[in-house]
Structure 1
Amino acid sequence: MRIAHVPLRASIGAYMLNSGLTKRNLEGEAAQATHSMAVGAIPQLRQVPPDRFAKVLSYSELALGAALLVPLVPSALVGLGLTAFGAGLVQLYLKTPGLRQPGSVRPTEAGSGLAKDVWLVGAGLTLVLDGLIPRRLRR
């Protein structure tokens, strides 16, 4: 891991760990609400029970957060995970009614919380590209 990646990985890693910890005990109506929103964007998730979905989401966020914080995990690899996770959130934003202004990608007030997750995709792609570009070409 390059020293320049530390602030990015530490800030996003801490955020992801916190998010995973807060979802760790989701049950009942809270798990159902989270699951319903995800199903709206990815219909195949309908096959996964809400409580199980909440657990898998929590564990995924915890694993990604930990991978970001552990310097031994290559930036390109953790960047792929971050890009995929962020892309899922962007898909959720784009497919959930009421989060975007009509005919636009601009968020409504309700969509601002998810629209900002595009930064996860950008950060993930930055880590992937920086990890793949040979050092001699980085100048």
Structure 2
Amino acid sequence: MELLRKARTAPGRLAAGAYILHSGLEKWDGGEEQAAGTHGMAAGAFPFLRSVPPRTFLRLLAATEIATGAALLAPFVPGALAGAALTGFSSGLVALYLRTPALRKPGSVWPTPEGIGVSKDVWLLAIGLGLLADAAAERREH
């Protein structure tokens, strides 16, 4: 049963993990313009981030993405831990989307053309919640 469970969760872990890891690696050596843009969007949604310097923010975000992506890709990391990491990370991304009006059509949750790239993070949240639900079901079986 454990092998079947791992096979069932592998596609979501691989797709999300590879995407997030790649995103983190791309940000790791990001320049000032990328840092300013990323930080500006995040600080607009979460004002407490204004006190964090843009380069520091970009590095912390990159490290979080690298760690989350690696946890998803590593088969020895339990599904509950990988799911918790992905759920936490993607919850922040979905909150950013919901707190940034320019990313959504007025009065709606549907994305504007500018919001399509961020709105897809709902799928990452769904994969994370699925991993957590699968881990909970496994605990109930034992």
TM-score, with structure 2 as normaliser: 0.91
Give the deviation of 1:27 after TM superposition.
Answer: 2.6
Name the aligned partner's letter for residue 33 of structure 1: G
Show the counterpart of 1:17: 21
Q: Distance in 2 between matches of 1:136 and 1:37?
A: 41
Q: Distance in 2 between matches of 1:105 and 1:6?
A: 30
Name the aligned partner's letter for residue 46 of structure 2: I
Match of 2:135 among 122, 131, 134: 131
1:78 to 2:82 alignment: yes
Q: Distance in 2 between matches of 1:125 and 1:72?
A: 19
Give the deviation of 1:24 after TM superposition.
Answer: 0.8
Q: Distance in 2 between matches of 1:56 and 1:136?
A: 36
Deviations 1:53-74 (A, max 9, x none): 0001111111111100111111
Q: Distance in 2 between matches of 1:52 and 1:33?
A: 13
Q: Which runs of 5 or more residues in structure 2 are unaligned? A: none
Match of 2:33 among 21, 25, 29: 29
1:13 match: secondary structure: helix
Instruction: State the 4+ residue runs in structure 1 displaced beyond 2 angstroms.
Output: 134-137
RMSD of aligned Cα (Å): 1.4
Q: Distance in 1 between matches of 2:139 and 2:25?
A: 36
Q: Which runs of 5 or more residues in structure 1 are unaligned? A: none
Name the aligned partner's letter for residue 23 of structure 1: K
Q: Distance in 2 between matches of 1:74 and 1:54?
A: 28
Show the counterpart of 1:92: 96
Q: How many residues align?
A: 137
Show the counterpart of 1:41: 45
Show the counterpart of 1:119: 123
Structure with the larger helix share: 2
